[in-house]
Structure 1
Amino acid sequence: MSSKETRLVLWLEEVRKEDTPLVGGKNANLGEMIVAGIPVPPGFAVTAYAFKYFLEKTGLGEKIYEMLRKLDVNNTKELEETTRRVREMILAQPMPPEIEEEIKRYYYDLAKKLNMEPSKLRVAVRSSATAEDLPEASFAGQQDTYLNVYGADAVVEHVKRCWASLFTARATFYRVAHGIPHERTHMSVTVQKMVNSRAAGVMFTLHPVTGDESVIVIESGWGLGEAVVGGKVTPDEFIVERGSFRV
């Protein structure tokens, strides 16, 4: 096992696509974008190793997976109640000091890099599951994202909330439906400086409905991209031809 695989936290610029099992698809792609010279808000990844360490250190892993093995996901009431209990167990458990200290250290170092007071550094805390971008299944959007989080204690708490969101009823049902064992799906978390965007959105490198690879589709709205991703607004849509970049 390499030293990277036992790291609790990594800077985004340290991760690459091959690190997806450690940092999830979102973090791995952000790392690749940084290497490619694309502007990316600075930040760090709390690794899937930290998530597994948390479950093992607290003894929650064995309890949670036993509960999920007995769960009938087709029983809606049982699914909702069991997954709620799992999330409550995670949130009620104190963060192991070694993980908490490492997250806080990186948060303070990020503030230092940006020449900001830590109390004024607002970040996005984003889920990055290790099964997020599989060829046969897409978990994107199933776990939680938190915006405008500030303060080291709050960041630590929201990392736990992201971990807990791996066990929503929807995500749990989806894993079972696609034959993906719960024990093999882990959660990394992205912590990035917030950007006060004038407009934001999503770019698809092919048409998301027709699969047409000759176009790029951009859906955008005013303000933060969360409104577009969360379906809270009807976005503007731009279809761009590859090569000519004609809209």
Structure 2
Amino acid sequence: MTTTPYIQFFDGTDAPRHDLLGGKCASLVALTQAGMPVPPGFAITTASYDAFIAAAGIEQDIHSMLASLDADDVAEVDRVSAQLRYEIESRPVPAAVRADFVAAYHALQARFSEPVPVAVRSSATAEDLPDASFAGQQDTYLWLNGIDDVTEHIRRCWASLFTSRAITYRLKNNIPGEGLSMAVAVQKMVNARAAGVAITMDPTTGDRSKIVMEASYGLGELVVSGLVTPDNVTVDKIMLMVVKRVIGDKHAELVPDAANGALVELEVSAARRGVLSISETEITAIATIAKKAEKHFKCPQDIEWALDRDLPDGQNLLLLQSRPETVHSSRSSDTRTDAVAVASTAGYGIESITRSLLVQAGKPTI
């Protein structure tokens, strides 16, 4: 399928325009075009969202409801958020827009010998900017099957532009609402044996000679949401040698239940909890691909990665995201002190990447 105003495949030839693709999708297109291993998929462009909002006739309502909001008035923010999300989730997608969704979804499925589940991931135009971290502000939906399920969750992604936390974050960081839009990534799911994040600098000290990664069993959502204590590994960026490793508890993993077509959270055995979830070879591979992402984007990167159990060793490391690092580079020394204090209570000898991201995003840690 060729690119349309509403659809852009990751492996197409069109440039990754941030205004058309949002932060996440622009990154995925750039990574794919640079030859890095990204699960196949396509972006539903901001033109789709804009056409949907125009057809619904609610653009002025959105602006007027947001204009007078006070970020500290939690109850009012929640009320406006709920109303805006209902307005979006309850409206039909224009026929021309949905027709392109359907064609792109079937074109993606045609690449495989049997139907594959997909992830539907938000990609706002205000996210992944060098001076702001929108990690966790909008929604991601996993292991979806069929075009009706996908279409429903595309609408939910659009609506997540107006979650309470996203509205509050924009207000507190003086990010204007005018021109704000949302693209959506539709991407083959990774059947992850292990997954996690990596930052191409030490987020505690800003040391750019280090790569700090976190890893856990199963899909990475439990890591990026801070729901498990992952393994924490520090690697020398030049020599690609491990200089520090801390085994996390990793008490749970998120894995697919093929019989029911859904994800389930399972308890991890004591034996598996007591060892690293990734091998030395895999640590080196993750560090290497993180360095490649940093070189490509020309600044420290915060990547999400996964090891796909359905692919052979040596070919199973996939990049799910790469965004500019903001944990260290954009916070004040006071915030750094707070983040380190939070991490120190977790029993680490090193600050947790996940906890740093949650502190910066204003979300609770566990």
**1:14 aligned partner:** 12
Q: In the TM superposition, what is the alpha-carbon distance from 1:236 to its structure 2 partner?
A: 0.5
Structure 2 Cα separation of the partners of residues 237 and 16 of structure 1: 37
**1:43 aligned partner:** 41
**Closer, same or farther in 2 for the Cα pair 1:15/1:138, shift >3 Å?**
farther
**2:29 aligned partner:** 31
Please point out which of 186, 197, 200 is paired with 1:202.
197
Q: In the TM superposition, what is the alpha-carbon distance from 1:13 to its structure 2 partner?
A: 1.7
Alignment of 1:119-158 (within 5 A): 120-158=115-153
Any idea what the Cα deviations from partners look like across 1:38-60, whole Å, max 9, x if unmatched? 11110000011111111111102
Q: In the TM superposition, what is the alpha-carbon distance from 1:209 to its structure 2 partner?
A: 2.2
**2:100 aligned partner:** 102
Structure 1 Cα separation of the partners of residues 59 and 160 of structure 2: 15
The runs of at least 4 consecutive aligned structure 1 residues that moved more than 4 Å come to 15-18
**1:232 aligned partner:** 227
**1:221 aligned partner:** 216
Q: Which letter does structure 1 place at the counterpart of 2:103? A: R
Tell me if 1:56 matches 2:54.
Answer: yes
Tell me if 1:67 matches 2:65.
Answer: yes
Any idea what the Cα deviations from partners look like across 1:52-97, whole Å, max 9, x if unmatched? 1111111021111111113233211111111111001101111111
Structure 1 Cα separation of the partners of residues 150 and 161 of structure 2: 17
Paired positions, count: 241
Q: Give the SS at the match of 1:143.
A: coil
Any idea what the Cα deviations from partners look like across 1:91-140, whole Å, max 9, x if unmatched? 11111111111111111110111232xxx320010011111112221112
Structure 2 Cα separation of the partners of residues 239 and 188 of structure 1: 34
Structure 1 Cα separation of the partners of residues 75 and 34 of structure 2: 47
TM-score, normalised with respect to structure 1: 0.93
Task: Please say which of residues 82-91 and 172-181 is displaced more in the overlay.
Answer: 172-181
Q: Give the SS at the match of 2:149.
A: helix
Which structure would you say has the larger RCO, counting Cα contacts within 8 Å and 6 or more residues apart? Answer: 1
Contact 2:62/2:84 (<8 A) preserved = yes
Contact 1:15/1:28 (<8 A) preserved = no
Contact 1:16/1:29 (<8 A) preserved = no
Structure 2 Cα separation of the partners of residues 140 and 22 of structure 1: 19
Contact 2:7/2:44 (<8 A) preserved = yes
**Percent pairwise identity:** 46
Structure 2 Cα separation of the partners of residues 208 and 61 of structure 1: 39
- Which is greater in Rg? 2
TM-score, normalised with respect to structure 2: 0.63
Any idea what the Cα deviations from partners look like across 1:6-56, whole Å, max 9, x if unmatched? 711110123777511110111111112112221111000001111111111
Q: Give the SS at the match of 2:11.
A: helix
Structure 1 Cα separation of the partners of residues 71 and 84 of structure 2: 14
Structure 2 Cα separation of the partners of residues 215 and 101 of structure 1: 47
Q: Which letter does structure 2 place at the counterpart of 1:37? A: G
**2:249 aligned partner:** none
